[in-house]
């Protein structure tokens, strides 16, 4: 069974540029999470989807961040415009609805210069 | 107040010895879950073990066990017979809310474990 797939693995952009990350969860997993992990810190939840519905986006900086999961499967996280402080690893995870275990993808390491 | 506190930024352990990684948590929910994840230098987060707040027995998964002390609000990870491949960051996390309902997951800041040959 394929795990959570994320692309790209690495991205370097200049500040004020847009960037997008893509995630394909494990087949059959209704719940999808986007986390941001700053250097030396644990992951922080940005948004959580149940199917195509964003059920928790309280930590998503909505002025510059947006996310979508149109068909309830794969998801895209976008930053526009990027700031220097957005440099981090962006992790996607998925789980069965109500499941205890979240399965994480390899992450996208974003560097904003 | 921090939801999850990991007070050990770094730990060393001799190969084949046991090591305990500390985690304390703060919640007012009666139903919650506690997790440990391993993050090697390659970056992926690997699920290790889960303990539900109503579970009476401490969770075990192979060489991993979770020392759950509910009254003290602690959920320490014990790794027995450490191996070189155990060198990684270890994160404690807590799910608040009922399984099947709203779940907010909060991670600690992590402990870097280094296994010495």
pLDDT at B31 over 60: yes
Residues of chain B in contact with residue A30, where contact means CB-CB under 8 angstroms, are none
**How far off is chain A from B91, nearest CA to CA, in Å?**
7
Encode pLDDT of B66-108 as tens digits: 999 999 999 999 999 999 999 999 999 998 875 555 567 899 9
Nearest to A98 among B37, B43, B100 (CB): B100
Strands A5-7 and A19-24: antiparallel
Cβ B47–A103 below 8 Å, yes or no? yes
* Of B10, B5, B19, B22, nearest in space to B80 by CA: B19
Cβ B102–A107 below 8 Å, yes or no? no
Nearest to A106 among B33, B44, B93 (CB): B44
Q: Give the distance from CA A111 to its chain's centroid.
A: 15
Q: What is the largest CA-CA distance in chain A?
A: 39
Cβ A101–B47 below 8 Å, yes or no? yes
Chain B residues contacting A, CB < 8 Å?
Answer: 4, 33, 35, 37, 42-47, 50, 52, 91, 93, 95, 99-110
Cβ A100–B43 below 8 Å, yes or no? no
Angle at alpha carbon of residue A61, lines to B44 and B89, rounded to 5°: 25
Return the pLDDT at A70.
83
- Greater confidence (A59 vs B78) lies with B78
Cβ B43–A97 below 8 Å, yes or no? no
The region, left, alpha or beta by phi > 0 then psi within -120 to 50, assigned to residue A50 is beta
Query: pLDDT band for position A58 (50/70/90)?
Result: confident
* Average pLDDT across chain B, whole number: 92
Question: Which residue reads 């600690």 in tokens?
Answer: B108
What is the distance between the alpha carbons of residues B104 and B95, in angstroms, rounded to a whole number?
A: 5
Q: How many CB atoms lie within 10 A of CB B96?
A: 18
Encode pLDDT of A5-23 as tens digits: 999 999 999 999 999 999 9
């Amino acid at each position: 069974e394929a795990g959570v797939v994320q692309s790209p693995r690495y991205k370097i952009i200049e500040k004020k540029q847009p960037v997008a990350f893509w995630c394909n969860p494990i087949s059959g997993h209704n719940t999808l999470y986007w986390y941001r992990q700053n250097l030396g810190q644990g992951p922080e939840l940005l948004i959580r989807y149940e199917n195509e519905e964003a059920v928790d986006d309280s930590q998503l900086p909505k002025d510059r961040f947006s996310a979508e999961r149109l068909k309830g499967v794969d998801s895209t996280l976008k930053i526009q415009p990027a700031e220097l402080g957005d440099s981090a690893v962006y992790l996607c995870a998925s789980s069965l609805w109500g499941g205890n275990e979240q399965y994480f993808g390899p992450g996208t390491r974003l560097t904003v210069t | 107040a921090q939801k999850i506190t990991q007070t050990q930024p770094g730990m060393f352990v001799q190969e084949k010895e046991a090591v305990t990684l500390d985690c304390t948590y703060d919640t007012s929910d009666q139903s919650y879950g506690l997790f440990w994840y391993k993050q090697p230098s390659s970056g992926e987060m690997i699920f290790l073990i889960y303990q539900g707040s109503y579970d009476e027995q401490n969770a075990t998964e192979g060489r991993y066990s979770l020392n759950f002390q509910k009254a003290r609000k602690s959920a320490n990870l014990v790794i027995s017979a450490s191996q070189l491949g155990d060198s990684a960051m270890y994160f404690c996390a807590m799910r608040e809310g009922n399984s099947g309902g709203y779940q907010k997951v909060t991670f600690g800041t992590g402990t870097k474990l280094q296994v010495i040959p």
